[in-house]
Each structure stands twice: as structure tokens, then as C-alpha cells.
């Protein structure tokens, strides 16, 4: 079923929309959730929360790219569950991803002057300046939380090349953000 047809089902408030969404995007959203959470324990619940989030958001929203829209909901749902699960303990592969990013996107998000939207726009602007390979590797690692092996398999690069590419991209991002006025 085409995305426009699925969106039309949501607008018609047909429960078939959720079934069609799960059939087409269940694997994609499930993979995002598994990468964030590290195990399947809470994955099914997060996936169901993703479908509920889509049901509540469409309408009034009419996403231009349904996969990206659903991926964002799945990731945010998994991040919420991750925060809940790790409130008292630190664990999982996702922690490593956060530590890698901390070296270039530090700062205090709770601070009064910290604007997450502006930070996101700055990161996007920086990623527009790097090579397509660096951009893809960065997004696969820090948005989709893929392992070095998964990125290497998808891109055909060795894990050493992926690590090097990500290191240079993070270093460049840090320099870019400092020039943009972020106190890192």
C-alpha cells in the first residue's frame, strides 16, 4: 500500500491504517527501537506506542515522508523508554553512542540559553557541508544507532574507515558548533 493511501486511512480514522502501517513499517521502526533499547524486552510495547503516536498525530498532521515521520516517533518513544529504564542504572550500546556525541555536542540542555531547535538546525547545516558518505555514516550511527559493523555492511566500508570517518565528522561538528557560538 502506498504512503498516501495509508495517510488517507488515518484521515478517515480507519483502524486499517494501523494494520497497514505495521505491515509496511514494522520492521523499520522495530529496528530503530531495538538499536536504542538494546534488547527486545520493551520493543513490542514501544512499537505499539509508535502506532498510537501516529494515530494521535494524523490528523492534524499530514507527513510528507511517512517513513521519516514514523521513524521519529519510534525513536522518541524508544528514547523515552530508555530514559525510564536507565533512571537508576547505566547500560546498553546506546550509552556508547551518547558518549561519542558528548565530545562534540556538550553543554547544558537544561540551561536557559540552550535552544535545542537551533542546535538541531546547526547540526543539519554542518552535515550539509560534509561528504555524502560522512553524512550517511553520521546519521546511521547517531540517529539510527547502528553499530560500526552494520554501517560497514550497508556502506561497504571497513569498520576502521567508519570509525575514522565518524571521528573526523564529530571533530568538525565540534569546531563548527564553537564557531556558531556554542559553549562546549
Residue 166's domain is classified under what CATH number? 1.10.10.10
Task: Report the candidate in 161, 172, 173 with the shortest Cα–Cα distance to residue 137.
Answer: 161
CA distance 169 to 184: 16
Cβ count near 12 (within 10 Å)? 10
Does a structural domain hold residue 184? no
Tell me if residue 15 falls in helix, strand or coil.
coil
Last residue in a domain, options 28, 53, 85: 85
Question: Which residues does 149 contact at the CB level (< 8 Å), separation at least 6?
Answer: 159
**pLDDT (average), residues 60-65:** 90
Question: For residue range 11-53, what is the model confidence (pLDDT) as tens digits?
Answer: 999 999 999 999 999 999 998 998 888 766 788 889 999 999 9
Among 1-5, 65-69, 112-116, 118-122, the range scoring the smallest mean pLDDT is: 112-116
Tell whether the model's pLDDT for residue 84 goes beyond 70: yes
Domain boundary among 85, 102, 118: 85
Q: What span, in angstroms and rounded, lies between the C-alpha atoms of 128 and 105?
A: 17
**Stretch 75-89: mean pLDDT, rounded?**
77
User: Could you tell me if 34 and 109 lie in one domain?
Assistant: no
Q: What is the C-alpha to C-alpha distance for residues 96 and 153, in angstroms, rounded to an integer?
A: 20
Q: Rounded distance, CA 57 to CA 54, Å?
A: 5
CA distances (Å), 16 to each of 8, 22, 102, 165, in order? Answer: 11, 10, 42, 43
For residues 81 and 144, state if they share a domain.
no
**What pTM was computed for the model?**
0.58
Q: What is the pLDDT of residue 128?
A: 93
Range of the domain at 160: 94-179
Amino acid at each position: 500500500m502506498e504512503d498516501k493511501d495509508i495517510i488517507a486511512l488515518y484521515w478517515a480514522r480507519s483502524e486499517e491504517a494501523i494494520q497497514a502501517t505495521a505491515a509496511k513499517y514494522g520492521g523499520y521502526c522495530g529496528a530503530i527501537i531495538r538499536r536504542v533499547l538494546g534488547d527486545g524486552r520493551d520493543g513490542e510495547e514501544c512499537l505499539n506506542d509508535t502506532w498510537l503516536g501516529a494515530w494521535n498525530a494524523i490528523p492534524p498532521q499530514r507527513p510528507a515522508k511517512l517513513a521519516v515521520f514514523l521513524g521519529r516517533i519510534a525513536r522518541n518513544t524508544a528514547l523515552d523508554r530508555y530514559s525510564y529504564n536507565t533512571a537508576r542504572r547505566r547500560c546498553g550500546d546506546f550509552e556508547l553512542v551518547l558518549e561519542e556525541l558528548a565530545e562534540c555536542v556538550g553543554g547544558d540542555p537544561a540551561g536557559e540559553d540552550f535552544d535545542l531547535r537551533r542546535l538541531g538546525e546547526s547540526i543539519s547545516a554542518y552535515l550539509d557541508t560534509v561528504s555524502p558518505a560522512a553524512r550517511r555514516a553520521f546519521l546511521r550511527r547517531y540517529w539510527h544507532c547502528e553499530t560500526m559493523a552494520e554501517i560497514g555492511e550497508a556502506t561497504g566500508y571497513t569498520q576502521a574507515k567508519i570509525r575514522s570517518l565518524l571521528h573526523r565528522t564529530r571533530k568538525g561538528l565540534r569546531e563548527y558548533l564553537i564557531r556558531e557560538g556554542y559553549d562546549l
